[in-house]
Chain A
Amino acid sequence: MQRARPWLGTLVEIRVDGLAEADAVSAIDAAFAEIAAIHRCMSFHDSDSDLARLHRAPVGRIVHVDPHTWHVLQAALTFAQESRGRFDPTIAAQLVAWNFLPRPQNSIEPDLAARWSDIELLSDSRVRLRRALWIDLGGIAKGYAVDCALRILRAAGATAGGVNAGGDLAVFGTAAQTVSVRDPRAPQNILPLLELRDAAVATSAGYFERRRDASGWLGPHVHGNRRRAVGTHSSVSVIAPSCMHADALTKIVLADARIAAKLLPRYAAQVCRYDSRRGWRTLRGE
């Protein structure tokens, strides 16, 4: 059984095999409920989300967030540190300036010098900002939601299944499944990329959303240190046991392949990337 609903700003598809119809329906409903909960916590758009509350809070004020949010923030800050700032969840201000994200209502204007290290994680799911900043977890929360939903499908006793949140996907089951990737040169074409068992694939590419202005190409992926668009003409797929890790690593590969190569073994990750000059290549971990 396969169902699709709009969450996380994209279409989320959930599939289970090996369950009776009623069990399949309740497993899929439970998995979507988890995704909906994660969406509500970490949406940049919803004024009730944890992020919106953080963006409204005066600098230095302690804000309680959902454990989901705290966990993803912790992972985001770890990736930020490990990538020396190439991955940075505080790039939201740049994405708002480029109209890739809407301006948050009633929030404090961000300090453009603010970086990931201005987010302070405290015990008991509490967070404090040292500077006014806007957080976008778009680069990691989809992968996290996929991992959480997949866990629910497994626990329900499905023999195989998969969750695909707009291209960030994870599969499980006894048989290997084919994973295809959109051809960045012609996104309506689909390339069979690999066969996979019990793993996740995340792809980041700017071809659907990129646009050009006087300063050059703009896109949905931003280099954390330089605050310029990356990946407007390339596509990066990361394969890893965890979709959250795969998701975040795609952005690091786009921003800085040398730093990414050092992180791949730590996350048991493999990379396949495309750019128009050199075609499809892997990236070897160091």
Chain B
Amino acid sequence: MQLRWLIPLGAAAALPAYHAAYAVQYMSVEQAQRAAFAQADGFVDAPLSLTEAQRRALDQGEAALSISAPKIWQARAGQKNLGWLIVDQVIGKAEAISYALALDNDGKIIALDVLEYRETHGAEIRLPAWRKQFVGKTAQDSLRLDSDIRNISGATLSCRHLTDGVRRLVQLYTQVLKPTSG
């Protein structure tokens, strides 16, 4: 173990801090697709169209606030359906997370990976303009990752919103994606 302090300890004075909108991109959608379905030879867009009843059913309960409708792909190997990859976003108190959930044809979770994690100052996150810049970023744009501000220690952030989001997507599978009998 080797340690060097970077902050002047004992000083109650203001310390230099990154006033950073901390953001990390972990994976692209393509990487998440390949990681979850290594045997797939294609991913077919499955645009989501919900009936009013389905939307109401999904909106019930303590579902996390979603920024936009989830994006869904069906993983294919030739004529065979391997399962689904769903990309969704959730917003917490100070962070926005986009994530990819991979489900097999029975709705069982194959993989769950965070694509992008973004922090911001409290109020900003509720602004439509701020949300809009977040939506759609995941796929291509790579965010600047400042290597100096990785390894952040601090009070534990709950991932309740992410858990709620996953629960909602599993519901979505049951209501919309699951093959109807036979």
Contacts and interface: CB of A to CB of B under 8 A. Distances in A.
Contact of B6 (A142, A194, A205): A194
B3 A195 contact: yes
A220 B158 CA distance: 12
A217 B148 CA distance: 35
Interface in A4-45: 4-6, 9-11, 13, 15, 25
A253 to B, nearest CB: 14
Interface in B118-132: 119-122
B35 interface: yes
A204 to B, nearest CB: 7
Interface string B30-64: 00000100000000000000000000000000000
Given A3-B26, A199-B1, A10 B157 contact: yes
B22 interface: yes
Interface stretch (B11-19, B78-86, B133-141, B170-178): B11-19
Interface residues of A, number: 65
A235 to B, nearest CB: 7
Contact of A182 (B150, B153, B163): B153
Nearest to A181: B153
Given A11-B162, A180-B151, A199 B3 contact: yes
Contacts of B77: none
A258 B113 CA distance: 42
Contacts of A2: 24, 26
B158 A169 contact: no
A193 B2 contact: no
B9 A171 contact: no
Contact of A11 (B2, B4, B157): B157
B151 A164 contact: yes
A192 B6 contact: yes
B5, B6, B149, B154 pick with most chain A CB within 10 angstroms: B154
A187 B2 CA distance: 27
A4 B7 contact: no
A184 B19 CA distance: 13
B179 interface: no
B10 A194 contact: no
A61 interface: no
Interface string B139-166: 0000000001111111111110011001
A74 B158 CA distance: 27
A190 B1 CA distance: 23
5 contacts: A5-B112, A25-B35, A168-B153, A203-B155, A280-B11
> Ordered nearest first, which 4 A-B pairs have the shortest CB separation?
A182-B154, A279-B12, A199-B1, A197-B2
